[in-house]
Amino acid sequence: MRLPIEGLARALQAYLRHRKHPVCGAILSWACLPSAVVTQLLLLSFVAFASDAMAQDAQCVRERAAMVETIRDYARFEAGVLGPQGISERVLEAMGQTERHRFIPERSCSVAYMDAPVMIGQGQTISQPFIVALMTHLAAVKFDDTVLEVGTGSGYQAAVLARLVRKVCTVEIIPQLAEAAAKVLRELGYDNVSVKVGDGYQGWPECGPFDAMIVTAALEHVPPPLIEQLKVGGRLVMPLGPVGAPQQLTVIEKIAPSETRVRPIILVAFVPFTRSQN
């Protein structure tokens, strides 16, 4: 049961009207209340707050479960690309466990779990859940992998990856986003994620080499430093194409030290890849 806070204030006012304190009169003041009354009111306020929080958590769980089912449905439409098995159950489980609403400014469950991009500030977006799941699936990550993400954004993609691999190294060129993402990831206990402010075009050599990479912004070519830092047998998943037009979500597999295999997947629309001006 949800307890209205305004009802507590009305009860307090009524109490004071009937208890004419020689100093306070009918003025609403905590200092004039007996300690037992203050304790009860604080307890009721805490219960009301906890009740609201539990109700929101329950809503988020329902919305998140519905999001996972939407991803399953979308995967069926892409059976020609993904095969009849669709998105792997391991990835879907990670999506179902990751609290996407913690990574958007509004923290609204109804907004967070819609299958749509969400603005996160600084002209950037958090990708729609299906695309996050698809890119994670295409990266074919394993439990003991070290993964590079270029374009941390809100930290959501890194959080999903963190549930699936040993270590995530994520690079963000916009300091405000990197700092906010690092804070949320730290608060939520993702201690296997490292966040760096920098130009992701150069990768993160000190953190690699990498078993897989995910790039969350569009570029017309594959950055050579990323291929250099990718292990043989590893996969790089990124949108390739011009800004302002549909790009091709692409899997680049490193099949030998100086040889890659490229596989286009589906058309997508990503924000442009931002480079350092230095």
141: number of CA atoms within 13 Å, CB side? 32
Whether 127 sits among the annotated catalytic residues: the reply is: yes
d(CA 166, CA 148): 12
Q: Nearest-5° angle of CA 260, CA 237, CA 142?
A: 95
Rounded CA separation 252/106 (Å) = 35
pLDDT over 90 (residue 10): no
In this prediction, what percent of the chain has a pLDDT beyond 90?
A: 68
Mean pLDDT of the chain: 86
Mean pLDDT throughout 153-159?
97
Correct CATH for 67-268 of 3.40.50.150, 3.40.50.2300, 3.40.50.620, 3.30.70.2740: 3.40.50.150
What are the residues whose beta carbons fall under 8 Å from the beta carbon of 7, sequence distance 6 or more?
none
Which residues are bridge partners to 252 per DSSP? 236, 262
Parse the chain into domains and list their residue ranges: 5-54, 67-268
Compute the chain's Rg from CA coordinates: 25
234, containing H or E segment: strand 230-240
Is 150 in contact with 237 (CB distance < 8 Å)?
Answer: no
Report pLDDT digits (tens) over 259-273: 999 999 999 999 999
Which candidate in 127, 154, 194, 258 is catalytic? 127
Six-digit token string for 26:
């009918």
In this prediction, residue 170 carries a pLDDT of 98
pLDDT (tens digit, 9 = 90+) per residue, 59-112?
Answer: 899 999 999 999 999 999 888 888 888 999 999 999 999 999 999 988 889 899
Q: Tens digit of pLDDT for each residue in 193-236? A: 999 999 999 999 999 999 999 999 999 999 999 999 999 999 99
Give pTM, 2 decimals.
0.80
Please state, in angstroms and rounded to a whole number, the distance separating the CA atoms of residues 6 and 14.
13
Q: Determine the pLDDT at residue 50.
A: 44
Measured CA distances, 3 to 8, 10, 42 (Å) = 9, 13, 12
